[in-house]
Amino acid sequence: MHQIDASGIRKIFDLAAQMKNPINLGIGQPHFDTPEPVKRALCEAVMAGKNVYSSTQGIAPLCAAIQSRVTAELGHADRQAFVTSGTSGGLMLALSVLVNPGDEVIAFDPWFVMYKHLVTLAGGTCVQIDTYPDFGIDLNKVRDAITPRTKAILCNSPCNPTGYVATEAELKGLAELAAEKNICLISDEIYRVFCYDKPFVSPAKWNDRTLVIDGFSKSHSMTGLRLGFAHGPADVIQQMIKLQQFTFVCAPQPVQWAGLAALDCDVSDRVADYAKKRQYLLSELSGLYDIRASGGAFYLFIKAPWGTGTEFVAKAIENELLIIPGNVFSQHDTHFRLSFAAEDSTLERGVEVLKRLARR
Protein backbone atom coordinates (compact mmCIF):
# COMPACT_ATOMS: atom_id res chain seq x y z
CA MET A 1 0.00 0.00 0.00
CA HIS A 2 2.98 2.33 0.47
CA GLN A 3 3.40 2.15 -3.33
CA ILE A 4 -0.10 3.55 -3.90
CA ASP A 5 -0.78 7.26 -3.44
CA ALA A 6 -4.02 8.50 -1.90
CA SER A 7 -6.51 9.49 -4.57
CA GLY A 8 -6.12 13.05 -5.85
CA ILE A 9 -9.86 13.12 -6.43
CA ARG A 10 -10.52 12.39 -2.75
CA LYS A 11 -8.29 15.34 -1.86
CA ILE A 12 -10.41 17.59 -4.06
CA PHE A 13 -13.61 16.28 -2.42
CA ASP A 14 -12.16 16.96 1.02
CA LEU A 15 -11.36 20.48 -0.11
CA ALA A 16 -14.90 20.95 -1.45
CA ALA A 17 -16.34 20.06 1.95
CA GLN A 18 -14.59 23.12 3.41
CA MET A 19 -15.86 25.58 0.78
CA LYS A 20 -19.01 27.62 1.29
CA ASN A 21 -20.37 27.71 -2.27
CA PRO A 22 -18.17 25.59 -4.54
CA ILE A 23 -18.79 25.24 -8.25
CA ASN A 24 -18.33 21.48 -8.29
CA LEU A 25 -17.40 20.22 -11.75
CA GLY A 26 -15.08 17.58 -10.36
CA ILE A 27 -17.30 14.74 -9.26
CA GLY A 28 -17.55 11.68 -11.51
CA GLN A 29 -21.15 10.70 -10.94
CA PRO A 30 -24.51 11.67 -12.45
CA HIS A 31 -26.21 14.66 -10.89
CA PHE A 32 -29.71 13.26 -11.42
CA ASP A 33 -31.46 11.13 -8.80
CA THR A 34 -31.88 7.38 -9.00
CA PRO A 35 -35.02 6.52 -11.03
CA GLU A 36 -38.17 6.07 -8.95
CA PRO A 37 -38.80 2.41 -9.97
CA VAL A 38 -35.27 1.55 -8.81
CA LYS A 39 -35.72 3.25 -5.41
CA ARG A 40 -39.12 1.60 -5.01
CA ALA A 41 -37.74 -1.87 -5.82
CA LEU A 42 -34.92 -1.36 -3.30
CA CYS A 43 -37.34 -0.34 -0.53
CA GLU A 44 -39.69 -3.22 -1.33
CA ALA A 45 -36.84 -5.72 -1.20
CA VAL A 46 -35.73 -4.42 2.19
CA MET A 47 -39.27 -4.52 3.58
CA ALA A 48 -39.79 -8.04 2.18
CA GLY A 49 -36.82 -9.25 4.20
CA LYS A 50 -34.47 -9.77 1.27
CA ASN A 51 -31.57 -8.55 3.40
CA VAL A 52 -29.50 -11.72 3.69
CA TYR A 53 -26.71 -13.06 1.48
CA SER A 54 -27.60 -13.97 -2.07
CA SER A 55 -25.71 -16.62 -3.97
CA THR A 56 -22.23 -15.34 -4.78
CA GLN A 57 -22.97 -14.90 -8.49
CA GLY A 58 -26.17 -12.92 -7.80
CA ILE A 59 -29.91 -13.48 -7.53
CA ALA A 60 -31.25 -15.77 -10.26
CA PRO A 61 -33.66 -13.26 -11.90
CA LEU A 62 -30.97 -10.59 -12.31
CA CYS A 63 -28.36 -13.05 -13.55
CA ALA A 64 -30.84 -14.46 -16.06
CA ALA A 65 -31.87 -11.01 -17.29
CA ILE A 66 -28.27 -9.87 -17.79
CA GLN A 67 -27.31 -13.16 -19.41
CA SER A 68 -30.24 -12.89 -21.83
CA ARG A 69 -29.24 -9.38 -22.91
CA VAL A 70 -25.58 -10.29 -23.30
CA THR A 71 -26.40 -13.39 -25.36
CA ALA A 72 -28.76 -11.41 -27.58
CA GLU A 73 -26.09 -8.75 -28.19
CA LEU A 74 -23.02 -10.92 -28.71
CA GLY A 75 -24.21 -14.48 -29.30
CA HIS A 76 -21.15 -16.12 -27.73
CA ALA A 77 -21.79 -19.72 -26.70
CA ASP A 78 -19.22 -19.67 -23.89
CA ARG A 79 -20.02 -16.23 -22.43
CA GLN A 80 -21.18 -16.21 -18.80
CA ALA A 81 -22.44 -13.25 -16.74
CA PHE A 82 -22.53 -12.66 -13.00
CA VAL A 83 -23.26 -9.83 -10.56
CA THR A 84 -20.42 -7.95 -8.87
CA SER A 85 -20.22 -5.61 -5.90
CA GLY A 86 -19.82 -2.50 -8.03
CA THR A 87 -17.93 -2.14 -11.28
CA SER A 88 -14.78 -1.40 -9.30
CA GLY A 89 -15.30 -4.72 -7.53
CA GLY A 90 -15.51 -6.40 -10.92
CA LEU A 91 -12.26 -4.77 -12.03
CA MET A 92 -10.50 -5.86 -8.86
CA LEU A 93 -11.69 -9.45 -9.30
CA ALA A 94 -10.64 -9.49 -12.96
CA LEU A 95 -7.12 -8.24 -12.36
CA SER A 96 -6.66 -10.39 -9.28
CA VAL A 97 -7.50 -13.62 -11.11
CA LEU A 98 -5.52 -12.76 -14.25
CA VAL A 99 -2.34 -11.11 -12.97
CA ASN A 100 0.52 -12.84 -11.15
CA PRO A 101 3.43 -10.93 -9.57
CA GLY A 102 5.69 -9.67 -12.34
CA ASP A 103 3.01 -9.77 -15.05
CA GLU A 104 2.22 -6.71 -17.16
CA VAL A 105 -1.08 -5.00 -17.95
CA ILE A 106 -1.36 -2.44 -20.73
CA ALA A 107 -3.45 0.68 -20.09
CA PHE A 108 -3.95 3.84 -22.12
CA ASP A 109 -2.74 7.14 -20.66
CA PRO A 110 -4.86 9.00 -19.50
CA TRP A 111 -6.48 6.12 -17.60
CA PHE A 112 -9.25 5.66 -15.05
CA VAL A 113 -7.58 6.33 -11.72
CA MET A 114 -8.02 2.79 -10.33
CA TYR A 115 -6.37 0.89 -13.18
CA LYS A 116 -2.74 1.45 -12.28
CA HIS A 117 -3.31 0.88 -8.57
CA LEU A 118 -5.33 -2.31 -8.96
CA VAL A 119 -2.58 -3.73 -11.17
CA THR A 120 -0.06 -2.82 -8.46
CA LEU A 121 -2.26 -4.49 -5.85
CA ALA A 122 -2.20 -7.70 -7.91
CA GLY A 123 1.61 -7.55 -8.01
CA GLY A 124 1.74 -6.54 -11.66
CA THR A 125 3.24 -3.67 -13.62
CA CYS A 126 1.05 -1.19 -15.48
CA VAL A 127 2.53 -0.47 -18.92
CA GLN A 128 1.15 2.89 -20.03
CA ILE A 129 0.62 3.82 -23.67
CA ASP A 130 0.55 7.55 -24.34
CA THR A 131 -2.53 8.68 -26.31
CA TYR A 132 -1.96 12.46 -26.35
CA PRO A 133 -3.02 14.77 -27.93
CA ASP A 134 -6.17 13.21 -29.42
CA PHE A 135 -6.51 10.19 -27.05
CA GLY A 136 -6.96 7.65 -29.82
CA ILE A 137 -5.66 4.06 -29.76
CA ASP A 138 -2.48 3.54 -31.80
CA LEU A 139 -2.42 -0.20 -32.54
CA ASN A 140 1.26 -0.08 -33.50
CA LYS A 141 2.10 1.27 -30.04
CA VAL A 142 0.05 -1.51 -28.48
CA ARG A 143 1.81 -4.20 -30.50
CA ASP A 144 5.21 -2.75 -29.57
CA ALA A 145 4.27 -2.71 -25.86
CA ILE A 146 3.36 -6.41 -25.73
CA THR A 147 5.94 -8.68 -24.11
CA PRO A 148 5.86 -12.32 -22.94
CA ARG A 149 4.76 -10.94 -19.54
CA THR A 150 1.66 -9.15 -20.89
CA LYS A 151 -1.48 -10.69 -19.39
CA ALA A 152 -4.17 -8.12 -20.12
CA ILE A 153 -5.08 -4.92 -21.94
CA LEU A 154 -7.46 -2.46 -20.27
CA CYS A 155 -9.80 -0.63 -22.62
CA ASN A 156 -12.31 2.01 -21.49
CA SER A 157 -14.63 3.43 -24.16
CA PRO A 158 -16.29 5.84 -23.62
CA CYS A 159 -13.33 6.88 -21.53
CA ASN A 160 -12.95 8.41 -18.11
CA PRO A 161 -11.29 10.96 -17.94
CA THR A 162 -11.06 12.01 -21.60
CA GLY A 163 -14.56 11.36 -22.96
CA TYR A 164 -12.94 9.65 -25.94
CA VAL A 165 -15.05 7.06 -27.79
CA ALA A 166 -12.83 4.61 -29.66
CA THR A 167 -13.57 4.08 -33.34
CA GLU A 168 -14.86 0.77 -34.62
CA ALA A 169 -11.55 0.24 -36.44
CA GLU A 170 -9.57 0.82 -33.22
CA LEU A 171 -11.70 -1.58 -31.22
CA LYS A 172 -11.70 -4.25 -33.91
CA GLY A 173 -7.92 -3.99 -34.26
CA LEU A 174 -7.42 -4.14 -30.50
CA ALA A 175 -9.73 -7.15 -30.17
CA GLU A 176 -7.98 -9.02 -32.98
CA LEU A 177 -4.51 -8.20 -31.61
CA ALA A 178 -5.48 -9.48 -28.14
CA ALA A 179 -6.82 -12.69 -29.68
CA GLU A 180 -3.68 -13.14 -31.80
CA LYS A 181 -1.40 -12.75 -28.76
CA ASN A 182 -3.66 -14.72 -26.37
CA ILE A 183 -3.96 -11.73 -24.05
CA CYS A 184 -7.13 -10.94 -22.11
CA LEU A 185 -8.81 -7.78 -23.36
CA ILE A 186 -10.73 -6.20 -20.46
CA SER A 187 -13.39 -3.82 -21.72
CA ASP A 188 -14.68 -1.36 -19.09
CA GLU A 189 -18.09 -0.37 -20.46
CA ILE A 190 -19.57 1.53 -17.52
CA TYR A 191 -20.24 4.61 -19.72
CA ARG A 192 -21.70 2.71 -22.68
CA VAL A 193 -25.06 4.55 -22.67
CA PHE A 194 -23.31 7.93 -22.85
CA CYS A 195 -22.32 7.94 -26.54
CA TYR A 196 -23.37 11.19 -28.22
CA ASP A 197 -22.16 11.04 -31.82
CA LYS A 198 -22.30 7.36 -32.77
CA PRO A 199 -23.70 4.11 -31.38
CA PHE A 200 -21.77 2.23 -28.72
CA VAL A 201 -19.77 -0.77 -29.88
CA SER A 202 -17.98 -3.35 -27.72
CA PRO A 203 -14.66 -4.94 -28.74
CA ALA A 204 -16.24 -8.23 -27.63
CA LYS A 205 -17.98 -8.15 -31.02
CA TRP A 206 -14.68 -9.29 -32.58
CA ASN A 207 -13.15 -11.33 -29.77
CA ASP A 208 -15.27 -13.83 -27.82
CA ARG A 209 -12.61 -14.01 -25.07
CA THR A 210 -13.06 -10.33 -24.19
CA LEU A 211 -13.87 -9.80 -20.51
CA VAL A 212 -16.50 -7.06 -20.08
CA ILE A 213 -16.98 -5.06 -16.87
CA ASP A 214 -20.20 -3.04 -16.60
CA GLY A 215 -22.73 -1.80 -14.06
CA PHE A 216 -25.55 0.50 -13.06
CA SER A 217 -23.68 3.31 -11.29
CA LYS A 218 -23.42 5.85 -14.09
CA SER A 219 -26.42 4.97 -16.26
CA HIS A 220 -28.92 4.89 -13.37
CA SER A 221 -27.19 7.12 -10.81
CA MET A 222 -26.62 4.20 -8.44
CA THR A 223 -23.01 4.94 -7.47
CA GLY A 224 -23.63 4.50 -3.74
CA LEU A 225 -25.55 1.25 -4.20
CA ARG A 226 -22.50 -0.66 -5.48
CA LEU A 227 -23.94 -2.86 -8.21
CA GLY A 228 -22.04 -4.07 -11.25
CA PHE A 229 -21.75 -7.11 -13.45
CA ALA A 230 -19.18 -8.87 -15.57
CA HIS A 231 -19.36 -11.27 -18.49
CA GLY A 232 -16.75 -13.19 -20.37
CA PRO A 233 -15.38 -16.67 -21.06
CA ALA A 234 -16.74 -19.13 -18.52
CA ASP A 235 -13.33 -20.32 -17.30
CA VAL A 236 -12.31 -16.79 -16.29
CA ILE A 237 -15.73 -15.91 -14.87
CA GLN A 238 -15.71 -19.01 -12.68
CA GLN A 239 -12.44 -17.90 -11.08
CA MET A 240 -13.85 -14.40 -10.51
CA ILE A 241 -16.93 -15.86 -8.82
CA LYS A 242 -14.68 -18.01 -6.63
CA LEU A 243 -12.67 -14.97 -5.55
CA GLN A 244 -15.83 -12.94 -4.95
CA GLN A 245 -17.03 -15.69 -2.59
CA PHE A 246 -13.94 -15.14 -0.43
CA THR A 247 -13.84 -11.32 -0.64
CA PHE A 248 -17.04 -9.36 -1.35
CA VAL A 249 -19.21 -12.49 -0.76
CA CYS A 250 -21.95 -11.03 -2.97
CA ALA A 251 -23.43 -7.74 -4.06
CA PRO A 252 -25.99 -6.43 -1.51
CA GLN A 253 -29.14 -8.45 -2.13
CA PRO A 254 -31.71 -5.60 -1.88
CA VAL A 255 -29.66 -3.62 -4.39
CA GLN A 256 -29.75 -6.54 -6.81
CA TRP A 257 -33.55 -6.36 -6.87
CA ALA A 258 -33.20 -2.64 -7.56
CA GLY A 259 -30.87 -3.52 -10.44
CA LEU A 260 -33.52 -5.82 -11.90
CA ALA A 261 -35.90 -2.85 -11.98
CA ALA A 262 -33.18 -0.65 -13.45
CA LEU A 263 -32.89 -2.91 -16.49
CA ASP A 264 -36.38 -1.79 -17.52
CA CYS A 265 -35.76 1.93 -16.97
CA ASP A 266 -35.36 4.18 -19.99
CA VAL A 267 -32.57 6.70 -19.31
CA SER A 268 -32.42 8.16 -22.82
CA ASP A 269 -33.79 11.51 -21.62
CA ARG A 270 -30.88 11.84 -19.20
CA VAL A 271 -28.37 10.97 -21.90
CA ALA A 272 -29.96 13.62 -24.12
CA ASP A 273 -29.66 16.16 -21.31
CA TYR A 274 -25.94 15.43 -20.99
CA ALA A 275 -25.51 15.74 -24.75
CA LYS A 276 -26.95 19.28 -24.48
CA LYS A 277 -24.66 20.12 -21.56
CA ARG A 278 -21.66 18.91 -23.53
CA GLN A 279 -22.65 21.05 -26.51
CA TYR A 280 -23.10 24.10 -24.30
CA LEU A 281 -19.60 23.75 -22.86
CA LEU A 282 -18.04 23.19 -26.27
CA SER A 283 -19.76 26.24 -27.72
CA GLU A 284 -18.69 28.42 -24.77
CA LEU A 285 -15.11 27.19 -24.29
CA SER A 286 -13.78 25.91 -27.61
CA GLY A 287 -12.44 29.28 -28.67
CA LEU A 288 -10.45 29.64 -25.46
CA TYR A 289 -9.37 26.07 -24.73
CA ASP A 290 -7.93 23.10 -26.60
CA ILE A 291 -10.65 20.44 -26.20
CA ARG A 292 -10.38 17.03 -27.88
CA ALA A 293 -12.32 13.75 -27.75
CA SER A 294 -15.68 14.76 -26.30
CA GLY A 295 -17.75 11.95 -27.80
CA GLY A 296 -18.91 10.19 -24.65
CA ALA A 297 -19.13 9.83 -20.86
CA PHE A 298 -19.74 13.16 -19.08
CA TYR A 299 -16.25 14.62 -19.02
CA LEU A 300 -14.08 17.03 -20.94
CA PHE A 301 -10.32 16.60 -20.63
CA ILE A 302 -9.04 20.08 -21.36
CA LYS A 303 -5.52 21.37 -21.89
CA ALA A 304 -4.57 24.07 -19.40
CA PRO A 305 -4.16 27.35 -21.33
CA TRP A 306 -1.15 28.30 -19.17
CA GLY A 307 1.04 26.66 -16.55
CA THR A 308 0.75 23.03 -15.57
CA GLY A 309 -2.56 21.29 -15.02
CA THR A 310 -1.93 21.41 -11.27
CA GLU A 311 -1.13 25.14 -11.31
CA PHE A 312 -4.25 25.91 -13.34
CA VAL A 313 -6.48 23.84 -11.03
CA ALA A 314 -5.02 25.58 -7.97
CA LYS A 315 -6.03 28.94 -9.45
CA ALA A 316 -9.48 27.60 -10.33
CA ILE A 317 -9.97 26.42 -6.75
CA GLU A 318 -9.07 29.91 -5.52
CA ASN A 319 -12.07 31.00 -7.60
CA GLU A 320 -14.35 28.37 -6.00
CA LEU A 321 -14.25 26.13 -9.10
CA LEU A 322 -13.56 22.46 -8.38
CA ILE A 323 -11.98 20.55 -11.27
CA ILE A 324 -9.48 17.67 -11.24
CA PRO A 325 -5.82 18.04 -12.32
CA GLY A 326 -4.94 15.74 -15.19
CA ASN A 327 -1.96 14.16 -13.44
CA VAL A 328 -4.44 12.26 -11.23
CA PHE A 329 -5.13 10.19 -14.36
CA SER A 330 -1.87 10.48 -16.24
CA GLN A 331 1.90 10.70 -16.33
CA HIS A 332 1.43 14.20 -17.79
CA ASP A 333 0.48 17.36 -15.90
CA THR A 334 -0.91 19.37 -18.80
CA HIS A 335 -4.69 18.99 -18.60
CA PHE A 336 -7.64 19.06 -16.23
CA ARG A 337 -10.85 17.04 -16.11
CA LEU A 338 -14.18 18.80 -16.03
CA SER A 339 -17.39 16.88 -15.31
CA PHE A 340 -20.58 18.26 -16.84
CA ALA A 341 -22.77 16.04 -14.64
CA ALA A 342 -24.17 19.14 -12.95
CA GLU A 343 -27.10 21.52 -13.03
CA ASP A 344 -27.10 24.04 -15.88
CA SER A 345 -26.75 26.91 -13.41
CA THR A 346 -23.58 25.30 -12.00
CA LEU A 347 -22.15 24.86 -15.49
CA GLU A 348 -22.88 28.51 -16.26
CA ARG A 349 -21.01 29.64 -13.14
CA GLY A 350 -18.13 27.35 -14.04
CA VAL A 351 -17.95 28.69 -17.58
CA GLU A 352 -17.65 32.26 -16.29
CA VAL A 353 -14.70 31.31 -14.10
CA LEU A 354 -13.01 29.36 -16.90
CA LYS A 355 -13.42 32.29 -19.29
CA ARG A 356 -11.79 34.63 -16.77
CA LEU A 357 -8.91 32.24 -16.15
CA ALA A 358 -8.26 31.69 -19.84
CA ARG A 359 -7.94 35.45 -20.40
CA ARG A 360 -5.59 35.93 -17.45
Q: Which pLDDT value is given to residue 5?
A: 73
3-state SS, residue 107: strand
Beta bridge partners of 106: 127, 153
Q: What is the CATH number of domain 8-28+267-358?
A: 3.90.1150.10
Looking at 3.20.20.70, 3.40.640.10, 3.40.50.150, 3.30.10.20, the CATH number of the domain 38-262 comes to 3.40.640.10
Fold: same for 8-28+267-358 and 38-262: no
- Residue among 205, 265, 202, 216 nearest 88 (CA): 216
CA-to-CA dists, residue 324 to 116, 158, 248, 289, angstroms: 18, 18, 30, 16
Distance of CA 108 to the CA centre of its chain: 13
pLDDT at 219: 97
Local confidence pLDDT in tens for the 360 residues of the chain? 887 776 666 666 666 677 778 999 998 899 999 999 999 999 999 999 999 999 999 999 999 999 999 999 999 999 999 999 999 999 999 999 999 999 999 999 999 999 999 999 999 999 999 999 999 999 999 999 999 999 999 999 999 999 999 999 999 999 999 999 999 999 999 999 999 999 999 999 999 999 999 999 999 999 999 999 999 999 999 999 999 999 999 999 999 999 999 999 999 999 999 999 999 999 999 999 999 989 999 999 999 999 999 999 999 999 999 999 999 999 999 999 999 999 999 999 999 999 999 987
Provide CB contacts within 8 A for 309, sequence distance 6+.
325, 326, 327, 332, 333, 334, 335, 336
Q: Where are the domains of the chain?
A: 8-28+267-358, 38-262
